[in-house]
C-alpha cells in the first residue's frame, strides 16, 4: 500500500480542529519555581535542617503572598546571618528569584513596578512548589527480615509491607516492634515475593 501523504494531511486537519483551529503550542518550559524547589530539595535533609531553609523560605514567601504590597516583605537583606545560611543551600536563591525577587548589592528585592497581584501569584507558585515537593524525613527504621517489595498505608495509621519471604507484616501504631505476620503466597514457579498489598476497606 503506497503512502500518498493524504493520511498525514487528514491527521493535521483533525488535530487543528481539535485545537479549535489553533496551531499546536510548544510545551511550556518547566516553571522556574518548580525547578528551583527541585534543586533546593535535592540538598541532603540534614543541610536543609541545619540552615532551617524550608521554614525560613516558607515564612518569607508566606508573608509575601499574604501582604504583597507591604514594603518590609518585598526586601530580604543578604547580610542577615540566618538568610545567608538559607541562601547557602543550592536552589534557595533561585526559588526567591522565581518568586519575583531581583538581586541587588545587599538585598533581594521585589521591583517597585510589580503589582500586588503579580507578586502574590509568584509567591503562591513558589509556596506550592515547596509544599508539593517537600521531602519526607525518616523517623524510624524497622527491620522486616527480608527485602521489601511493596508497602501500603493503612486506614487509622500503620502500614503493611510485603516482602521477598512471601509474608506480609502489618505494623500498627504502638506495636512497631511486633507486627502481625500474614502468609502471602506459596513459592510458585521459582518466584518469591509479595508484589502488592491493599487495605481491606
pLDDT tens digit sequence for 85-115 = 999 999 999 999 999 999 999 999 999 999 9
Which residues, including other chains, have CB under 8 Å from residue 64's CB and lie 6 or more apart? 73, 74, 99, 110, 119, 120, 123
Average model confidence (pLDDT) across the chain: 81
Instruction: Please state the pTM of the whole predicted model.
Output: 0.54
In CATH, what is the architecture of 30-130?
Up-down Bundle (1.20)
In the chain, residues under CATH classification 1.20.58.2190 are 30-130
Question: Are 130 and 57 within 8 A, CB to CB?
Answer: yes
Task: Say what the pLDDT of residue 103 is.
Answer: 95
What Cα–Cα distance (Å) separates residue 164 from each residue in 148, 149, 177, 180, 184? 6, 7, 19, 16, 10
What residue has cell string 500498627?
172
Q: Are 107 and 75 in contact (CB under 8 A)?
A: yes
Per 3-state DSSP, what percentage of the chain is helix, strand, and coil (rounded to 5)? 40, 15, 45
Residue pair 76/111 in contact by the 8 Å Cβ criterion: no
**Position 186 pLDDT exceeds 60:** yes
Amino acid at each position: 500500500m503506497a503512502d500518498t501523504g493524504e493520511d498525514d494531511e487528514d491527521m493535521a486537519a483533525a488535530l487543528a480542529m481539535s485545537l479549535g483551529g489553533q496551531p499546536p503550542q510548544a510545551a511550556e518550559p518547566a516553571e522556574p519555581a518548580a525547578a528551583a524547589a527541585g534543586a533546593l530539595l535535592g540538598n541532603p535533609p540534614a543541610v536543609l535542617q541545619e540552615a532551617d531553609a524550608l521554614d525560613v523560605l516558607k515564612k518569607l514567601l508566606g508573608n509575601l503572598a499574604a501582604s504583597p504590597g507591604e514594603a518590609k516583605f518585598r526586601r530580604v537583606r543578604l547580610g542577615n546571618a540566618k538568610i545567608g545560611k538559607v541562601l547557602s543551600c543550592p536552589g534557595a536563591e533561585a526559588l526567591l528569584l522565581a518568586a519575583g525577587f531581583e538581586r541587588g548589592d545587599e538585598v533581594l528585592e521585589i521591583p517597585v513596578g510589580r503589582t500586588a497581584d503579580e507578586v502574590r501569584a509568584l509567591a503562591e507558585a513558589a509556596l506550592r512548589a515547596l509544599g508539593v515537593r517537600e521531602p519526607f524525613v525518616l523517623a524510624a527504621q524497622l527491620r522486616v527480615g527480608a527485602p521489601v517489595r511493596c508497602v501500603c498505608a493503612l486506614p487509622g495509621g500503620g502500614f503493611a509491607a510485603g516482602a521477598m519471604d512471601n509474608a506480609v507484616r502489618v505494623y500498627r501504631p504502638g506495636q512497631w516492634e511486633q507486627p502481625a505476620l500474614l502468609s502471602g503466597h506459596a513459592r510458585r514457579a521459582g518466584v518469591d515475593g509479595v508484589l502488592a498489598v491493599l487495605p481491606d476497606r
